[in-house]
């Protein structure tokens, strides 16, 4: 199907943490290949692989030193090809990360660029002279702390790095850079990948005049843990020229029918609007942001995010996710809203998988996994180390996948790169497989329910105006209408619903007696509707 991605469910794999097959404590491609059946059996449509390219690993692969090879810690290109073949045999599409805004300072292009101001790669990165007082060209900040400018004594200039100093940003105003990036995309498409997830998709172009970013218009009562959040990033990213690059990417993808793109919208001010802008016809197929990866767990919040997207971009397409490799796992973030971890994990699954759009699951959320408490000396993440103790770093969510209750959860026979601790070990795949009521079996049932429903895959959404903590909406497609009702709290709630018969088999904690529907703690009800119905509190 040409638009297989529309309404699809993608499973994100963090290669370092999924499965280690050679015993060195770091996950690898052979390990992922061996475990692909878990993703297929879960009922997902695609697997997204975070970076596995050659890298010094200062930012765990998001600092690429060779875009067309596999880092030895993960295996070889032959291992990657075998992974793609196995995934396709299982009916899974393969999406891989592309980190094209910046590279490693060990990349040969940057090594050449920093030699002098006249070499062939001199203008491939963003270099600028200091101000007369020696300070950086402007006030732009790095996401990872401090100025986004790093002094280089060889060129006697600053270079821009939106993230680590060892991650210089490419200069997309140089057409040779854009041409090179197209060759990278075609290299992997020719190897059989089904699409790309673009890291920091709104960062590629910067303001040509390098104007200073203003202060955030949302006044802060006190400094944030990371000062980056105190600026309104009008000029250091989000430039209109970026959209032309999205359109060029689309033209490349059109040469490979059946492929898809998804962009990571790293934006804290207008993310929903920009998701729509970036997925307008002729641009990316899908886009996700961090909007649903925060601490808000209210009906009003979820209703507004989905309504705002489709109101602003009726021809766009979102990808919704509750967790990924950069944020606290949602079972930990939203713990106070759940009667138990299992209840909250199952409700989150039902909620996410009923949303209009495509869905991305983060490895381990299907077993209700929680964040790992780590000491400072256990961290490897530069962001977590730089801002210790808050905001919480990213290692806490990246600890290894737990397959069974054996030492290190069956992830490795060696010493894992991050520890598998007792609370995480207690939540493993083996102990939940085939167990009625487990989080894992609920995910499988919910994914099968979604896959078998035209309304849940592609139907339109209409919300009801119910008081907190109740969220209700219909999904409608062709001849199918499903009423979805959620009690987003650990306290039972009741509603009156007329014109329906019984909840669907995957409903959780819901009892319908006559016209009274009782939703238990974190209760969920999916009600097939035929004809007219009414809903009230």
pLDDT of 260 reads 98
Residue 463: closest CA among 253, 258, 304 = 304
240 & 311 share domain: yes
435 & 503 share domain: no
84 & 179 share domain: yes
441 & 469 share domain: no
Helices and strands (H and E) in the chain: how many? 16, 20
Task: Report yes or no on whether pTM surpasses 0.85.
Answer: yes
395 & 472 share domain: no
329 & 353 share domain: yes
Cα dihedral angle (140, 142, 143, 146), rounded to 10 degrees? Answer: -110
218 & 334 share domain: yes
234 & 199 share domain: yes
Q: How many domains does the chain have?
A: 2
430 & 474 share domain: no
Residue 146: closest CA among 492, 375, 326, 383 = 383
pLDDT of 1 reads 63
Q: Residues with Cβ < 8 Å from 479, sequence gap 6 or more?
A: none
Range of the domain at 489: 459-536
Residue 367 lies in a domain: yes
pLDDT tens track of the chain, all 537 residues?
679 999 999 999 999 999 999 999 999 999 999 999 999 999 999 999 999 999 999 999 999 999 999 999 999 999 999 999 999 999 999 999 999 999 999 999 999 999 999 999 999 999 999 999 999 999 999 999 999 999 999 999 999 999 999 999 999 999 999 999 999 999 999 999 999 999 999 999 999 999 999 999 887 788 888 899 999 999 999 999 999 999 999 999 999 999 999 999 999 889 999 999 999 999 999 999 999 999 999 999 999 999 999 999 999 999 999 999 999 999 999 999 999 999 999 999 999 999 999 999 999 999 999 999 999 999 998 988 888 887 667 999 999 999 999 999 999 999 999 999 999 999 999 999 999 999 999 999 999 999 999 999 999 999 999 999 999 999 999 889 999 999 999 999 999 999 898 899 899 999 999 999 999 999 999 999 988 899 999
Q: Which residues pair with 97 in a beta bridge?
A: 197
Token pair in block for residue 243: 């959209």
Query: What angle in degrees, to the nearest 10, is found between the helix axes of 77-89 and 29-42?
Result: 10
280 & 203 share domain: yes
* Domain limit, last residue, from 395, 427, 450: 450
Distances in Å between the alpha carbon of 363 and those of 50, 212, 271, 381, 414? 11, 39, 24, 18, 21
Residue 127 lies in a domain: no
Residue 144 lies in a domain: no
Residue 296 lies in a domain: yes
Residue 111 lies in a domain: no
* Domain limit, last residue, from 433, 450, 467: 450
Q: Residues with Cβ < 8 Å from 9, sequence gap 6 or more?
A: 43, 44, 45, 46, 353, 358, 359, 360, 361, 447, 450, 451
Question: H/E element holding 447?
Answer: helix 439-451
* Domain limit, last residue, from 450, 469, 499: 450
Residue 366 lies in a domain: yes
13 & 69 share domain: yes
Active-site residues, by number, are 199, 264
Residue 67 lies in a domain: yes
Report the distance separating Cα 186 and Cα 201, nearest Å.
18
Find the CATH number of the domain harbouring 527.
2.60.40.1180
474 & 382 share domain: no
Phi-psi region of 258 (alpha: psi -120 to 50; beta: other; left: phi over 0): left
The answer to whether residues 431 and 404 touch, using CB atoms and an 8 Å cutoff, is yes
Residue 169 lies in a domain: no
Find the CATH number of the domain harbouring 203.
3.20.20.80
């Amino acid at each position: 199907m040409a638009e297989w991605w529309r309404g699809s469910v993608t499973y994100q794999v963090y290669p370092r943490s999924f499965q280690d097959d050679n015993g060195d404590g770091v996950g690898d491609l052979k390990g992922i290949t061996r475990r692909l059946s878990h993703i297929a059996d879960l009922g997902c449509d695609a697997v997204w692989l975070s970076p596995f390219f050659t890298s010094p690993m200062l930012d765990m692969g998001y600092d690429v030193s060779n875009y067309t090879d596999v880092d030895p810690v993960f295996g070889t290109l032959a291992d990657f090809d075998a992974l793609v073949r196995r995934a396709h045999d299982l009916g899974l599409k393969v999406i891989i990360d592309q980190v094209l805004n910046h590279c490693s300072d060990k990349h040969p292009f940057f090594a050449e660029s920093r030699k002098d101001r006249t070499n062939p790669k001199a203008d491939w990165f963003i270099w600028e002279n200091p101000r007369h007082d020696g300070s950086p060209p402007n006030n732009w900040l790095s996401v990872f702390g401090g100025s986004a400018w790093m002094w280089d004594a060889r060129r006697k200039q600053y270079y821009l790095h939106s993230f680590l100093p060892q991650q210089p940003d490419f200069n997309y105003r140089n057409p040779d850079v854009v041409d090179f990036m197209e060759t990278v995309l075609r290299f992997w498409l020719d190897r059989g990948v089904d699409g790309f997830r673009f890291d920091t998709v709104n960062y590629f172009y910067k303001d040509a005049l390098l104007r200073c970013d203003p202060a955030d218009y949302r006044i802060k009562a006190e400094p944030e843990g990371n000062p980056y959040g105190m600026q309104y990033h009008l000029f250091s990213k989000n430039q209109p020229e970026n959209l032309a690059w999205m359109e060029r990417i689309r033209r490349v993808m059109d040469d490979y029918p059946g492929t898809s793109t998804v962009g990571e919208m790293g934006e804290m001010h207008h993310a929903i609007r920009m998701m729509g802008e970036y997925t307008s016809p002729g641009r990316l197929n899908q886009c996700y942001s961090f909007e649903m990866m925060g601490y808000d767990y209210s009906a009003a919040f979820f209703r507004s995010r989905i309504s705002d997207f489709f109101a602003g971009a009726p021809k766009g397409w979102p990808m919704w996710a509750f967790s990924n490799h950069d944020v606290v796992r949602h079972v930990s973030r939203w713990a106070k809203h759940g009667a138990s971890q299992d209840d909250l994990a199952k409700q989150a699954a039902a909620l996410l998988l009923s949303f209009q759009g495509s869905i991305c699951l983060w490895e381990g959320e299907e077993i209700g996994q929680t964040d790992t408490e780590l000491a400072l000396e256990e961290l490897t993440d530069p962001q977590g180390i730089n801002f210790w103790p808050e905001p919480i770093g990213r290692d806490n969510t990246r600890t290894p996948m737990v397959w069974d209750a054996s030492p290190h959860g069956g992830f490795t026979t060696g010493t894992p790169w991050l520890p598998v601790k007792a609370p995480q070990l207690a939540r493993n795949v083996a102990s939940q497989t085939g167990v009625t009521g487990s989080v894992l079996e609920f995910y499988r049932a919910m994914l099968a329910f979604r896959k078998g429903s035209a309304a849940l895959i592609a139907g339109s959404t209409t919300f009801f105006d119910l008081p907190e903590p109740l969220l209700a909406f219909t999904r409608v497609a062709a001849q199918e209408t499903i009423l979805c009702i959620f009690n987003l709290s650990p306290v039972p709630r009741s509603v009156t619903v007329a014109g329906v018969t019984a909840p669907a088999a995957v409903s959780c904690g819901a009892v319908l007696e006559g016209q009274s529907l009782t939703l238990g703690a974190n209760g969920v009800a999916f009600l097939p509707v035929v004809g007219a119905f009414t809903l009230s509190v």
